[in-house]
Amino acid sequence: MTTTSATAAYAEFNATDYLVGRQVERGNGSRAAVIAPSRTLTYSELAVEVDRVASGLHELGVRPEERVLMCMPDEVELFTAILATMSVGAVAVPASTMLTGAELGKLVVDSRARVVLGSAEFACQVRDAVAEAPEVGDVVMVRARPEPLPAGVRGHTWAEMLAADSSGTAGRRFRTWEDSPALWLYTSGTTGTPKAAMHRHVDIKLVAENYGQQVLGITTEDRCLSVAKLFFAYGIGNTMFFPLSVGATALLEPARPAPELLADRARRDRATLLFGTPSFWGPLLASEVPDDAFASVRQAVSAGEALPARMFHSMADRFGVEILDGIGSTEMLHIFISNRPGRVHPGSSGTVVPGYEVQLRDESGEVIDAEDTPGELYVRGGSAATGYWCRADISRQVFLGDWMRTGDTYLRNADGTYSCLGRAGDMLKAGGIWVSPGEVENQLLAHPDVAEVAVVAVPDPDGLDKPIACVVPMPDRTVDGEALIEWCRGDLAAFKRPREVVGLTELPKTATGKIRRNVLRETFADVLRTGSGDPYGQETATDEADKETRNVRTG
């Protein structure tokens, strides 16, 4: 009998080699790979830069399958850090830049990251996070000195890390194969508690080929501009996986995605694929952006939450841009149901993407075959996460054999398309980002004036869900909405904060004491539609802009 090593049966595969090295080998080295405000890199230059970062990580002692957490804007440093981390066999963990230091600290602790990469823009959050994470040994900062840091934590600038290759390990690669861990993306998903969806190297290849190539038809001539940032599954697919998989160009934009800014980038850098969300299309349509701003765009894509049919028609009429709406998830890494170019069913998510299967199931788990009958959406496909890190119970609830429960209620239309009816449970989305009502409620309950609270989602004028807080005050206290929202400011990201506060004498409850959230949603369904706030308020807006969307009511 012939004896082989444990890994001999696996063909080597590395996502970074697939995305970058393969393009250089194909003769695309001189093509523009990344265009950022700071600089432009060809594929050959990107390969060199990734090697430099990989060498720096190696010098910091980063080992295969160890997590490297990043809190950085969408610039060349974050782009190369993700690719370099995967190239050395470690796990890239790009974290949301919208989190507070305390929230970020929970992710650092949970991921057990020993190396944290940050930048000047988020230096305070990184320092606060590291202070609560005793396992961190090294912090690397871009455009800032990494100080002050807790005792025992070594600080480095980005330049110092790149110059630290004392052993000549540039270009070092660790053996990985398709099932090797490559990327963790934190999500609240269907259960509320932040948890890391664990993805393999091959998942990146699958979403690039299933959606990027077979649905979008992306080619080397495309230029991809995304509203969603790299720390989102949607954003990293749009800005990294899709363009690099075919030798196209990624357009990085680190700033908040204001309509005028994105229109300028699209015009200046000749974007051909524009990826957005309903919370972006709304403000864009309300802006004074010129009607020809997106003349170079051949196709737009929307995800995060269902696209209102009104927005689809308005974008086509005003800007001449067709939007493909779809549904994806962090757990599946990108879109698995989508409309198709030239065959859009407005108000629907479209049809199933190649490489995936979906089912609708009733409350007992039985498959629903009838059209126009609501059911919970299940999906299966090769890009599914292997589970949630250290969340066995939740993983067993969501990943059922080959199938994954999405937590969304859908129905199948007569033409074979699928339409979203909302969430199966009480989780809500604000601007396409999952928000746990319990997390917001716990923050509000810590206020001395609050006796009870329930956070629910109600639609704004465009039908997009936004959180409101229904509050019962303590005896002899009153509900001060502005004060309660200010109370949330220090510990909750902006997109999680209530857009309005409703004062109540009591919360509607069942006989067993459970809050009847459906009653609250129905009772206050029009509170934002009739409010004085900006109907296109952004969850990622500045605090000043945020204040414009807040009201206090008594119900």
Q: Residues 544, 286, 427, 230: is their CA dihedral positive or negative?
A: negative
468, 500 in Cβ contact below 8 A? yes
Tokens of 35: 């265009």
Domain match, 399 and 302 both: yes
Q: Reduce the DSSP state of residue 65 to 3 states and report it.
A: coil
- Residues 115-146 have pLDDT tens digits of 999 999 999 999 999 998 999 999 999 999 98
Upstream peptide bond of 94 is cis (omega within 30 degrees of 0): no
What distances in angstroms separate CA 369 from CA 33, 93, 375, 417, one per listed residue? 45, 39, 10, 14
**Exposure b/e, 207-219, CB count within 10 A at least 16 = b:** bbbbbbbebbebe
Helices 278-286 + 259-268 axis angle, to 10 = 90
Q: Which residue has the higher pLDDT, 546 or 496?
A: 496
Any domain includes 5: no
- The answer, yes or no, to whether residue 150 has pLDDT greater than 90, is yes
Q: 434, 437, 373: which is closest to 406 by C-alpha? A: 434
pLDDT given at position 109: 97
- What DSSP character marks residue 288? -
Does any domain span residue 366?
Answer: yes
DSSP state of 121: G
189 belongs to a structural domain: no
Partners of 340 in the β-ladder: 343
Give the residue with greater pLDDT, 127 vs 433. Answer: 127
Which of these ranges, 325-339, 414-428, 465-479, has the smallest mean pLDDT?
414-428
**Dist. CA 390–CA 396, nearest whole Å:** 12
The model's confidence at residue 231, banded by pLDDT at 50, 70 and 90, is: very high
Longest distance between any two alpha carbons in the chain, whole Å: 83
Do 156 and 141 share a structural domain?
A: yes
Give residues with Cβ within 8 angstroms of 530, minimum separation 6: none
From 423, 449, 479, give the residue that closes a domain: 423
Q: Is the residue at 184 inside a domain?
A: no
Question: How is residue 117 written in tokens?
Answer: 């990469």
The verdict on residue 42 lying in a domain is yes
pLDDT of 445 > 90? The answer is: no
pLDDT for 9 equals 60
Query: Does one domain contain both 459 and 415?
Result: no
Q: What is the pLDDT of residue 554?
A: 43
Tokens of 12: 């080597």
Buried b (16+ CB within 10 A) or exposed e, 354-366: ebbebbbeeeeee
Contacts of 285 (CB under 8 A, 6+ apart): 311, 314, 315, 318
pLDDT surpassing 60 at residue 233: yes
Q: What angle do CA 206, 207, 208 make, to 5 degrees?
A: 90
What pLDDT does 416 receive? Answer: 95
Here the contacts of 133-137 (C-beta below 8 Å, separation 24 or greater) are 133/105, 133/108, 133/109, 135/109, 136/108, 137/61
CA dihedral 76, 78, 79, 84 (to 10 degrees): 120
Say if residues 239 and 262 touch (Cβ distance below 8 Å).
Answer: no
State residue 550's pLDDT score: 34
DSSP state, residue 399: E
Q: Which of 361, 452, 443 is nearest to 400 (CA)?
A: 361
**Is 145 in contact with 159 (CB distance < 8 Å)?**
no
| Mean pLDDT, residues 233-261 | 97
Poorest-pLDDT segment among 80-89, 201-210, 368-377, 431-440 = 431-440
- Of the listed ranges 223-237, 351-365, 388-402, 443-457, the least confidently predicted one is 443-457
- Cα–Cα distance between 122 and 101 in angstroms, integer? 9
Contact 65, 2 (CB under 8 A): no
Q: What DSSP character marks residue 87? A: H
Name the domain count of the chain: 3
Distance CA 78, CA 90 (A): 15
Query: Does 357 reside within a domain?
Result: yes
Q: Are 261 and 216 in the same domain?
A: yes
Task: Give yes or no: residues 413 and 509 share one domain.
Answer: no
Residue-range definition of the domain harbouring residue 534: 428-554
Summarize the confidence of residues 152-166 as an average pLDDT.
Answer: 89
Average per-residue pLDDT for the chain: 89
Q: Using one digit for the tens of pLDDT, what is the confidence trace for 13-41?
A: 999 999 999 999 999 999 999 999 999 99
Which residues are 367's β-sheet partners?
361
Degrees, nearest 5: CA angle 198-363-302: 50
Tokens representing 159 are 């330049």
249 and 273 share one domain: yes
**Residue 538 reports pLDDT greater than 70:** no
Res 555: pLDDT = 47
Categorize the per-residue pLDDT at 421 as very low, low, confident or very high, splitting at 50, 70 and 90.
confident
Is residue 4 domain-resident? no
pLDDT of residue 169: 52
pLDDT at 495: 86
What are 508's two structure tokens? 């509607």
pLDDT at 385: 98
pLDDT at 176 over 50: yes
pLDDT mean over 38-60 = 96
A 10 A CB-CB count for 401 gives: 6
Phi/psi for 283 (5° steps) reads -60, -35
Domain end residue (candidates: 375, 404, 423): 423
> Whole-angstrom Cα distance, residue 74 to residue 96?
11
Q: Which residues pair with 399 in a beta bridge?
A: 404
The verdict on 434 and 364 lying in the same domain is no
Looking at the fold, whether 170 and 218 belong to one and the same domain comes out as no
**285 and 407 share one domain:** yes
- Label residues 290-312 b or e (16+ Cβ within 10 Å = b): eeebbebbbbbbbbbbbbbeebb
- Residue 8 within any structural domain of the chain: no
Report the relative pairing of strands 418-423 and 403-412 from DSSP bridges: antiparallel
pTM over 0.85: no
**CATH number, residue 64:** 3.40.50.980
Are 277 and 380 within one domain? Answer: yes
Regarding whether 440 and 325 lie in a shared domain, the answer is: no
Supply the pLDDT for residue 534.
Answer: 29
Q: 378, 393, 423 — which closes off a domain?
A: 423
Q: Is the pLDDT confidence value at 110 over 90?
A: yes
What CATH number corresponds to the domain at position 465? 3.30.300.30
Domain of residue 233, CATH code: 3.40.50.12780
Instruction: Measure the CA dihedral 69/75/80/85, to 10°.
Output: 10
Spatial contact of 467 and 430, defined as CB atoms under 8 Å apart = yes
Question: With pLDDT > 90 as the criterion, what percentage of the chain qualifies?
Answer: 68
Q: How far apart are CA 492 and CA 494, in angstroms?
A: 6
Instruction: Tell whether 27 and 61 lie within a shared domain.
Output: yes
